[in-house]
Amino acid sequence: MMNIGALTAAIAGASAARARTEVLDAFRVHEATSVARACLLADLDLAGGAARLDGLLRAGVIRAVDRQGRTIEAHGERSSTDRFYLDEGALITQRTSSPKRQALQVALVLLLVVALILAGGVVFRLR
């Protein structure tokens, strides 16, 4: 039986992944995938706005551009005239090389193996 803490963590993880996907999709739908196509946050219609971008900004997946079209650091305070774009190359690099992601994949495989062993034990006992 899964405990409440594990269930809560799983739900929180799924919610965070969905929120990240929604942010990335908003940039793609608005074609904000280069410096020339960067757009204002207000144009993206993101529920939660700038707060949802912080992790992606720190990771370099979302990049900020000032009025002159120069890439800038946009951690913390932002100007209402700053524009943002999704760096697809950085996203691919992060997705394929993230140690956290690799550790999560290993943990999920191990969890699946343990679940299968436990399920087999329950079936064996019922016989």
Residues 7-48 have pLDDT tens digits of 676 776 677 777 788 889 999 999 999 999 999 888 887 766
Closest CA to 30 of 83, 69, 89: 83
Give pLDDT tens digits for 78-125.
Answer: 666 689 999 999 998 877 776 776 677 778 888 888 888 888 777 777
Structure tokens at 5: 């803490």
Counting Cβ atoms within 10 Å, is residue 37 exposed (0-12), middle (13-18) or buried (19+)?
middle
Helices (H), 1-127: 4-29, 41-44, 54-58, 88-97, 99-126
In sequence order, the β-bridge partners of residue 95 are none
